Amino acid sequence: MLLYILTHLLLSHPAPMSVFNFEKTSEAQSWYIVNDVVMGGMSSAKVEVNEEGHGVFSGTVSLENNGGFASMRHSSRVEGVSQYRKVALRVKGDGKQYQFRLRKSTRDRESYISKFTTTGEWQTIEIPLADLYPSFRGRKLDLPKFEGEVFEEVTILIANYKPENFRLEVDWIELRP
């Protein structure tokens, strides 16, 4: 009986699935920057891997020319998402608020968003997938929250409506039961 219960628990709760791990430096180059310069803004950012093997997203958010955001993005098709309840990120920030975003398809306009605030220490942020709400260009959309089997893009964005320097280290991102 105990073997049956353990087997059932293991089969009904999948192991965490890695979405991205910065220790694989060759894959880290697949992240790219999208800043407000696409709309005339003047923010700047970069993503690089430090000596410890963590991704470092850093730069300056400017409000000049109607700017105000910087983001790092990674496109990769992740399937089997409906088996999981939350996404987790291991990060070390600068005390600022960031947004975690998923996009079901790279062709979609809307992203599914959750905000998180960093503490200055390493922390694991857990975000229930069911809490990710749809947004486009900073406006919440009247659509259902995230549901799905697949997503194709992960974004980390900073947009706090003020000029500021920022620095966020990212160790890994994974899906959890």
> Which tens digits make up the pLDDT trace of 33-48?
999 998 899 999 999 9
| Residue-level pLDDT at 8 | 46
Give 29's DSSP letter.
Answer: T
Contacts of 101 (CB under 8 A, 6+ apart): 71, 111, 112, 113, 153, 154, 155, 156, 157
Q: Is 4's pLDDT higher than 70? A: no
**pLDDT recorded at residue 27:** 66
Q: Enter the DSSP assignment of 22.
A: T
Report which of residues 111 and 13 the model is more confident about. 111
State the average pLDDT over residues 14-22: 92
pLDDT at 137: 87
The predicted structure's pLDDT at residue 38: 85
Give the mean model confidence (pLDDT) for residues 98-124: 97
| Between residues 25 and 62, the one the model is more confident about | 62
- Say whether pLDDT at 74 is over 90: yes
pLDDT band for position 25 (50/70/90)?
low
Confidence of residue 13 (pLDDT cuts 50, 70, 90): confident
pLDDT score of 26? 63
Domains identified in the chain and CATH numbers? 16-176 (2.60.120.430)
At 62 the pLDDT is 98
- Nearest to residue 45, comparing CAs of 27, 61, 30, 31? 61
Mean pLDDT of the chain: 91
Q: What is the mean pLDDT of residues 141-161?
A: 95
Q: Which helix (H) or strand (E) is 34 found in, with range?
A: strand 31-35
Confidence (pTM): 0.89
